[in-house]
Each structure stands twice: as structure tokens, then as C-alpha cells.
């Protein structure tokens, strides 16, 4: 023995270590009683306790300690004695009086918490000495392989209360930070769905749980029994923390991509951790070896991370500064802690190292994760900008495709309708005329489908615009009637048409859109009616605002629509039954386009239907009445095609379209027609010939219609021709095309296939 600790009247300490007054003996795994130890029957060799905390390292041995206490004061003394780590399995304190009788106190992790002598997380005993009393203290310490320190600190009652209060405050802050970080980054994981946030969350959670168990809080608040879970909480949480820290660091350093060897080493390390966990669960005798094994494996993991960081730095690849700082703090402090656990360093207490280190490390890693969130946000914004750019590019490609598709479809349709019209004029054969009517119907249906496709694209982009020109609703609807009457009669349907509109009534609006809306509904009525009738009723009346309320009602006796499908018929790609697309054909976008156009007009559409009985559809469209104007005097005949000696230049590269225009205009009286294959040729033709009007195509080689129109208006075809009337004839029906060409100086715009009557009206209007 080294001596005894004496309590003196004028020097009663608040807190002091009695390690230097104590001696210790290693009993190995022998079972000894207090009598064996006190009676010197055990052959134990007692030596002085070394270090500030009596560090025993990792051990499953039983140790016996001795020290003497003497109260030399004339007052009784009351003290608490902190003896061992909170997770030490069993600690017994025997206090022997001068009569060699002893009292025993018990504490430890392998004891129900309620049976501890002091209801506190640490291994603490009560000491009471009367004035002049001497006692010998003998202490038995047992553990299952965990690290063990023996602080052997005497603490006065007042000081003990201060320590408890201080511990509660500091531990509350420490675990509060870990809890907040765990919850915060768990939320980030669910919000961002990045695995790295889950691994970091679990790492912090397991670190917190390991410290919670090491500090004795797990036994005090979670499991107060001596269950298997309580006795293994430290080692299990340490393995979990090591595994998830490795997975987290893998992703931070992108180990799989950057260094295959280190990645394989990590995988091997995880296997060893898994084997260790399995041995702890299924081989109880392995437990004493598991604590140093997990510490060594964790240190190896730290070395792998350090190597990965150094490798990235050497390769001049970016490494997050906060993460690197956190790892440096953790590496230094963890190395010191392991050395203390193995008894290689005795100059510090473990709490002086681990708590500040873990706190700083977690804060640094959390800053690293916050920086990662910022980078992810920045990357997301970049990807969104790139996606927006790609989307805009795809929209441009789609617009170009649709425009080109319209051009490529309308070009042959122009030839088909032109040739059909010529055949109708040149023959009286009823069979040929009937075939021509079929060709016309098919061509007009195809044009209608092309228009719907183009409008569908413009609906998606919100680019549909309505024209505001003067027209006669009577003439438009009469044209629709003529186009569909033949189809109905061919199917053997009764076709009824009635209207109260006066032929001379003029309104302001978009005649093409009115024709399209009625055409789509009427086409559906005929398509889905196999027997019975199709009726169209047109009514118009002037409202109080001075507008014309145009009501178009179309009814049929067709297949009808079921109630559950009725609400979705105006949606894109919708038909009554999916099988109808095969049976009846069509894209399923006609009514969607109608609905969009009606909304754009500020009108209403109503659909009433009964399955197997028929459908009734009503359109209500308001139109502004055209103001009274001085009647336009057309200098040209209205009962024949006669341009009275005018010269028309047709700028068209397509041979079929040239042929159609030749066939159409060769029978026009007193009309000269010449042709140019491209815009550049048209400029030369204007320079060399007196031209009264130009019919300009847009898509041409060498110089297209846009460039040619702009060049003419700038006087590049001669200043005398800078105001020559230009009518654009194109298969491109995009609204942007119309707007652009009119801005360049075109006087009018027509889409192919060319309507001869409308073309003559436009030409004579401009030449008058």
C-alpha cells in the first residue's frame, strides 16, 4: 500500500483523486472473496495505480484495489467516491472498520439500475466516516472486455451536486446537437432522396447512441435491467457507426469511381465488421476480443479515408474543406482515444478527448453536408437551365418538324385538288365526277387532320391566335355543308341543314376557325353514325351588346357516348372507346381543338348524348358585327376569271405546284403568268419584266420566300418594284410564319391547297 488518505479539519477537499494512495492487483479470471483478499490467501501482488485515471485498457480480468481512509477531523465527513467507467460490469466496495467487520456497496452495468447504491449513471459509492474513524477500502472491479478507467475521485456532497448540474447542462447541449443534426439530415434525405444524407444521419445517430451508452445514460433511461441489449449497446452501436461512416465517406469521396482498390478495401472492411457482429451475437466468448477488434477496424477505416483524401489531393481533384477538417479532427482524437484505451497514453481523460472531438467533427461534417446541399441546389439549377434550353430546342425542332410536315403534306394535296378540279371542269362523265367528289372529300379530310395536328401543337404552347377579318358566316357554313353533304349521302344518311342567317350578313372574326370547329364536329357526327340522320341547324341573333350570337347545333343518331366518358371527350387523344380508333380512325384530338377554339372565342360548347341513341352538340360563338363601309369597287369581273391584261409572277420551286397553278390560271382571261424557281430568280424576273403581282412560296432553295420578300421591299428588285403586291402561297400554316411574313411586307397570305375563287378575290382586291 502507498499510504492512506487523511481528512483534516482545515483541509477538507471538495474534489480530489486518491489514486496515489491506492494499490491494485490483477486477479485474472479467478473467483476470489473479500476474505481471500484481506487475509492474504490469494497471493495477489498489489502495485501502485498508474496514470491520472488508473487506465486498465481493454480487459475482462478482475482487479482488486486497496486504499485507507482516515478522518482526522472532529466532524463526520460525507463523500461520494467515483470509482470506474459507467459501463463497467460489476464494482463492489468493501469498507472495513477497525473491528475487521465490513459493509459492502454494489454498482455497475451488469446490475439492475435500481440496485445501485447511488441512483446515478456513473459508478459512484457513498463514504461516511465519523470523527477519528479509520477504514480500509477494498474494491473489486470486473468487466467483459471493454476499456476501463479507475478515476478514484472523492467528491463532497456540494461539489457532487455541482457536477451533476454541470453534466446535465453539457450533456444536454452535446446530445441536443447530435439529435438536431440527426433529425435535420433525415428530413433532407426524405426531401432530396440522396443516400449520402441517410448514411450521414445513421452515422450521427449511432455515434450518439454509442456515447449515450458509454456515459451510462442508456442504462439509466432506456434499459435499467442487465439485459443482453444493455450489456452490448456500446459495441453494437460502435459497429453501426463505423459501417455508416464508411458508407458516407465512400460517397463523399466518390471512392468507387476514383480508386477501385480503396473501394474493395472498404468492402472487405464491411465484411470484417459483419463477421465481428455475428460473432458477438452467436459466440458469447468472443465478446472480450470484440472491443479491441472494432477499435482496430475503425482505425483502419480512418486510414483508408485518409489515403483516399490524399490521393484526391495528389490528383488535384476537389475535396470538401469542411469534410477534410472534420476527418482530421476525428483522426487525431480517435487515435489518441485508441491509444488511451490500450493504455499507451495516461496523461488525459477519455472525456477530455472524445466529447469535444465528436462535437467539432460532427459540426464540420454537417457544414460539409450543408455545402453539399448548396452544390446539389446549384447543380439542380444548372440541370433545370439545361433542361429548359433542351426543351426550347426541342420545341423549335418540333415546330420545324410540324411546319415541314404541313408543307410536305399540303404540297401534294395542292396538286391533288388542283388536278381534281381540272378534271371536274373538263368532263361531264358522272362516274368521273363522283370519283372526283370522293377525292375532294378525302383530301379535305386530310387537310382537316393536318390542321388539327398543327393546332394541337399550338394549343400545347398557347400560341393559337384568332384573325379579325370581315367575312360572311352564311358563306362559310354553306361551304361546310357542301363538303359534308356528299359524305353523308354516300353512307346512306339523311342530311338536314337549316339556317336563318342572311347571306349578306358580315361579321369580324376568324372564318377559318369557324369552319374548322363546325367541320370537326360534323365530321365526328357522320363518322360515328351508321344509320339514320345527321342534322345541322344554324341560328343567329343580335344581342344587347350589338354582337351576333351564332348558335350552331349538330345532332346525329349515332353510337352516342356513355355517361362516364362524356366528361372526357374534350381531352387530348380521347375517343368514346379505345377500340374506336381502330374501327373509325382519327387522332382523337378534333374535339380537344374545338374546345380550345371555343374558349379562345369566349363562347360555349355543350354536349348531350345517350349511348346507342345519338349525340347533340351546340356551339355558341359571339361575333362582332362588321361596321358599315363604303362598298368596295372591284375593277375586275365577278362572273369570270379575268385579270384584264395583268402579269402575275408565280415564285414556286415544286414542279407539281407549278403544274397546278398553270392548269388553274391558263383559263383565266387576259392573264399573263410567268414562273420563277426561287427567290433569287424572282428578283431578276422583276428587274427584267413589268410584273403586276407576285405569288410567293416560302420554302425554296437558293433564296427562300422570306429573303425574297424582304429584298423586294428593300428595292433590290428595282425601286419601281418595292411596292409590288405580294401574296404568300405556302403550305406552312404556323401562326409565327404568318406574323413573320406580314412583318416583312407581304400584302396577303394564303395556305395550300389553293382555293381558286379565294385566290382570284385576293388578287383582284389588291390590283383594284
pLDDT in tens, 603-637: 999 988 888 889 999 999 999 888 866 566 788 99
- Residue 78, C-alpha cell as written in the block: 460525507
Residue 586 scores a pLDDT above 60: no
Residue 568 scores a pLDDT above 60: yes
User: How many C-alpha atoms does 124 have within 13 Å on its Cβ side?
Assistant: 17
User: SS3 string of 380-393?
Assistant: HHHHHHHHHHHHHH
- Residue 467, C-alpha cell as written in the block: 384573325
- Architecture of the domain defined by 4-151: Sandwich (2.60)
Sign of CA pseudo-dihedral 655, 660, 661, 665: positive
Cα–Cα distances (Å) from 77 to 68, 93, 102, 120, 126, in that order, read 15, 18, 18, 21, 11
pLDDT of residue 135: 93
Task: Give 307: exposed, middle or buried? Use CB within 10 Å, 0-12, 13-18, 19+.
Answer: middle
Residue 643 scores a pLDDT above 80: yes
pLDDT of residue 220: 92
Mapped onto helix, strand or coil, the DSSP state of residue 129 is strand
29-82 per-position pLDDT tens digit: 998 999 888 877 778 889 998 877 788 888 899 999 999 999 999 999 999 999
Hey, which residues does 82 pair with through a beta bridge? 124, 153
Whether the Cβ atoms of residue 110 and residue 226 lie closer than 8 Å to each other: yes
pLDDT of residue 351: 57
d(CA 290, CA 277): 8
Residue 431 scores a pLDDT above 80: no
Mapped onto helix, strand or coil, the DSSP state of residue 238 is helix
pLDDT of residue 206: 96
Residue 406 scores a pLDDT above 90: no
320-366 per-position pLDDT tens digit: 888 999 888 888 877 777 676 665 665 555 555 678 888 888 889 88
Confidence of residue 537 (pLDDT cuts 50, 70, 90): very high
Strand 494-499 relative to strand 533-542, pairing: parallel
DSSP secondary structure of 652-711: ---HHHHHHHHHHHTTSEEEEEEEESSHHHHHHHHHHS--SEEEE-SS-SSS-HHHHHHH
d(CA 429, CA 221): 105
- Architecture of the domain defined by 464-625: 2-Layer Sandwich (3.30)
Report the share of the chain in percent with pLDDT over 70. Answer: 90
The more confident residue out of 466 and 155 is: 155
Q: Could you state, in order of their start, the residue ranges of all structural domains in the chain?
A: 4-151, 167-382, 464-625, 635-767
d(CA 145, CA 148): 9
Instruction: Name the CA dihedral angle for 291, 296, 297, 298, rounded to a multiple of 10 degrees.
Output: 90
Report the share of the chain in percent with pLDDT over 90. Answer: 46
Fold of 635-767: Rossmann fold (3.40.50)
Q: What is the mean pLDDT of the segment spanning 496-521?
A: 89
Mapped onto helix, strand or coil, the DSSP state of residue 638 is coil
Residue 550 scores a pLDDT above 70: yes
User: Does the N-terminal peptide bond of residue 753 adopt cis geometry, omega within 30 degrees of 0?
Assistant: yes
Whether the Cβ atoms of residue 617 and residue 607 lie closer than 8 Å to each other: yes
Q: What is the mean pLDDT of the segment spanning 372-394?
A: 83
d(CA 452, CA 44): 102
Whether the Cβ atoms of residue 554 and residue 497 lie closer than 8 Å to each other: no
Nearest alpha-carbon partner for 274 in 306, 246, 302, 254: 246
Residue 212 scores a pLDDT above 90: yes
d(CA 126, CA 93): 10
pLDDT of residue 340: 67
pLDDT of residue 61: 93
Amino acid at each position: 500500500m502507498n499510504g492512506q488518505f487523511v481528512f483534516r479539519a482545515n483541509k477538507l477537499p471538495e474534489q480530489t483523486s486518491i489514486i496515489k494512495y491506492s494499490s491494485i492487483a490483477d486477479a485474472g479470471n479467478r473467483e476470489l472473496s473479500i476474505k481471500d483478499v484481506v487475509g492474504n490467501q490469494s497471493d495477489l501482488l498489489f502495485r501502485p495505480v498508474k496514470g491520472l485515471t488508473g487506465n486498465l485498457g481493454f480487459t475482462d480480468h478482475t482487479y482488486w484495489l486497496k486504499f485507507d481512509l482516515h478522518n482526522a477531523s472532529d466532524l463526520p465527513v460525507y463523500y461520494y467516491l467515483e470509482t470506474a467507467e459507467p459501463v463497467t460490469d460489476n464494482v463492489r466496495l468493501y469498507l472495513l472498520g477497525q473491528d475487521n467487520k465490513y459493509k459492502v456497496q454494489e454498482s455497475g452495468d451488469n446490475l439492475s439500475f435500481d440496485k445501485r447504491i447511488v441512483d446515478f449513471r456513473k459508478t459512484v459509492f457513498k463514504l461516511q466516516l465519523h470523527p477519528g474513524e479509520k477504514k480500509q477500502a477494498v474494491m473489486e472491479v470486473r468487466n467483459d472486455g471493454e476499456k476501463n478507467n479507475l478515476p478514484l475521485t472523492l467528491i463532497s456532497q456540494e461539489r457532487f451536486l455541482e457536477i451533476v448540474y454541470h453534466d446535465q447542462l453539457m450533456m444536454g447541449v452535446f446530445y441536443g446537437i447530435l439529435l438536431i443534426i440527426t433529425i435535420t439530415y433525415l428530413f433532407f434525405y426524405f426531401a432530396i432522396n440522396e443516400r449520402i444524407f441517410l448514411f450521414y444521419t445513421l452515422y450521427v445517430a449511432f455515434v450518439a447512441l454509442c456515447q449515450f451508452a458509454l456515459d451510462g445514460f442508456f442504462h439509466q433511461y432506456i434499459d435499467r435491467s442487465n439485459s443482453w441489449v444493455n450489456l452490448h449497446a456500446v459495441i453494437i452501436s460502435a459497429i453501426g457507426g463505423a459501417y455508416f461512416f464508411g458508407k458516407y465517406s465512400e460517397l463523399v469521396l466518390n471512392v468507387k469511381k476514383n480508386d477501385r482498390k480503396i473501394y474493395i478495401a472498404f468492402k472487405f472492411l464491411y465484411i470484417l465488421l459483419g463477421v465481428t457482429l455475428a460473432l458477438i451475437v452467436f459466440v458469447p466468448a468472443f465478446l472480450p476480443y470484440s472491443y479491441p477488434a472494432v477499435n482496430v477496424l475503425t482505425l483502419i477505416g480512418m486510414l483508408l479515408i485518409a489515403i483516399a483524401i490524399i490521393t484526391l489531393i495528389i490528383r488535384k481533384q476537389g475535396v470538401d474543406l469542411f469534410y477534410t477538417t472534420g476527418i482530421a479532427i476525428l483522426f487525431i482524437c480517435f487515435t489518441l482515444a485508441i491509444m488511451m484505451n490500450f493504455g499507451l497514453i495516461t496523461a488525459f481523460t477519455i472525456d477530455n478527448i472524445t466529447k469535444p472531438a465528436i462535437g467539432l467533427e460532427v459540426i464540420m461534417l454537417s457544414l460539409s453536408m450543408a455545402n453539399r446541399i448548396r452544390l446539389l441546389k446549384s447543380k439542380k439549377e444548372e440541370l433545370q437551365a439545361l433542361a429548359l434550353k433542351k426543351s426550347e430546342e426541342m420545341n423549335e425542332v418540333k415546330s420545324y418538324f410540324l411546319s415541314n410536315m404541313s408543307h410536305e403534306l399540303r404540297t401534294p394535296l395542292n396538286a391533288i385538288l388542283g388536278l381534281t378540279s381540272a378534271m371536274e371542269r373538263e368532263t361531264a362523265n358522272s362516274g368521273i365526277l363522283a370519283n372526283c367528289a370522293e377525292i375532294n372529300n378525302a383530301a379535305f379530310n386530310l387537310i382537316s387532320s393536318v390542321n388539327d395536328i398543327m393546332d394541337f401543337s399550338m394549343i400545347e404552347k398557347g400560341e393559337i391566335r384568332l384573325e379579325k377579318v370581315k367575312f360572311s358566316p352564311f358563306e362559310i357554313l354553306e361551304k361546310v355543308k357542301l363538303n359534308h353533304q356528299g359524305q353523308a349521302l354516300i353512307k346512306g344518311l339523311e342530311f338536314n341543314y337549316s339556317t336563318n342567317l342572311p347571306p349578306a350578313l358580315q361579321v369580324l372574326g376568324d372564318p377559318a376557325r369557324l369552319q374548322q370547329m363546325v367541320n370537326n364536329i360534323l365530321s365526328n357526327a357522320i363518322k360515328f353514325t351508321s344509320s339514320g340522320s345527321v342534322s345541322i341547324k344554324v341560328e343567329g341573333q343580335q344581342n344587347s351588346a350589338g354582337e351576333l350570337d351564332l348558335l350552331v347545333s349538330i345532332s346525329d343518331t349515332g353510337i352516342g357516348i356513355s355517361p362516364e366518358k362524356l366528361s372526357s371527350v374534350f381531352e387530348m387523344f380521347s375517343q368514346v372507346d379505345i377500340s374506336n380508333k381502330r374501327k373509325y380512325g382519327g387522332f382523337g384530338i378534333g374535339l380537344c381543338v374545338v374546345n380550345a377554339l371555343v374558349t379562345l372565342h369566349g363562347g360555349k360548347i355543350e354536349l348531350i348524348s345517350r349511348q346507342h341513341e345519338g349525340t347533340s352538340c351546340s356551339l355558341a360563338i359571339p361575333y362582332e358585327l362588321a361596321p358599315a363601309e363604303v362598298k368596295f369597287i372591284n375593277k375586275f369581273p365577278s362572273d369570270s376569271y379575268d385579270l384584264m391584261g395583268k402579269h402575275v409572277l408565280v415564285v414556286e420551286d415544286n414542279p407539281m405546284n407549278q403544274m397546278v397553278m398553270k392548269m388553274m390560271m391558263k383559263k383565266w382571261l387576259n392573264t399573263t403568268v410567268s414562273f420563277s424557281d426561287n427567290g433569287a430568280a424572282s428578283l431578276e424576273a422583276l428587274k427584267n419584266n413589268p410584273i403586276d403581282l407576285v405569288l410567293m412560296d416560302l420554302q425554296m432553295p437558293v433564296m427562300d420566300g422570306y429573303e425574297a420578300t424582304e429584298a423586294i421591299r428593300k428595292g433590290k428588285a428595282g425601286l419601281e418594284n418595292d411596292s409590288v403586291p405580294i401574296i404568300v402561297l405556302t403550305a406552312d400554316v404556323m401562326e409565327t410564319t404568318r406574323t413573320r411574313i406580314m412583318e416583312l411586307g407581304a400584302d396577303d397570305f394564303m395556305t395550300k391547297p389553293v382555293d381558286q375563287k379565294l385566290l382570284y378575290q385576293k388578287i383582284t382586291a389588291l390590283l383594284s
